[in-house]
């Protein structure tokens, strides 16, 4: 999965040859043509009412305001649009809201991709009632 986004010679971010300002000025149909297939299909079908509300809320907030008070959302299936760059979202992972600061490299992905819902399992000692063989804990 290689996407064509790079940093230019001057250090300016480009996505498929377009700068962030150019991406923000595009309408959704033009933007959808640059996106990966799954995101393009989401944009072609049209965003739901909740997603449109999230986009409107992100447009009204400036960067400093969203950093202090992030935009809270349960919409893990919301594609990251150029309007979201440098804004902070609090995405729900099933237990709590965790902060995500949107970087330009995240355009085209989904909010849920950056907030995991499962924790890594760390097994401890065997509990009460465990059999003799299951109580064996190897020394490192």
Q: Average pLDDT over the chain, rounded to whole?
A: 87
pLDDT of residue 112: 94
pTM over 0.85: no
pLDDT confidence tier of residue 103, bands split at 50, 70 and 90: very high
CATH code that applies to domain 5-115: 3.30.860.10
Domain ranges of the chain: 5-115
Q: What is the pLDDT of residue 133?
A: 66
Distances (CA, A) of 138 to 80, 120, 128, 131, 134: 46, 20, 18, 16, 11
pLDDT classification of 2: cutoffs 50, 70, 90: very low
Please give the pLDDT value at position 19: 93
């Amino acid at each position: 999965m290689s996407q064509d986004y790079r940093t230019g010679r001057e250090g300016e971010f480009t996505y498929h040859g377009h700068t962030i300002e150019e991406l923000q000025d595009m309408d959704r149909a033009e933007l959808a043509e640059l996106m990966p297939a799954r995101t393009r299909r989401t944009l072609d079908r049209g965003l739901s009412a909740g997603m449109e509300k999230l986009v409107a809320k992100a447009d009204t907030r400036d960067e400093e305001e969203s950093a202090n008070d992030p935009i809270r959302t349960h919409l893990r299936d919301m594609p990251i649009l150029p309007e979201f760059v440098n804004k902070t979202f609090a995405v729900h992972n099933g237990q709590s809201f965790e902060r995500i600061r949107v970087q330009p490299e995240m355009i085209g992905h989904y909010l849920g991709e950056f907030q995991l819902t499962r924790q890594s399992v760390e097994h401890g000692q065997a509990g009460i009632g465990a059999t003799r063989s299951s109580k064996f804990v190897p020394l490192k």
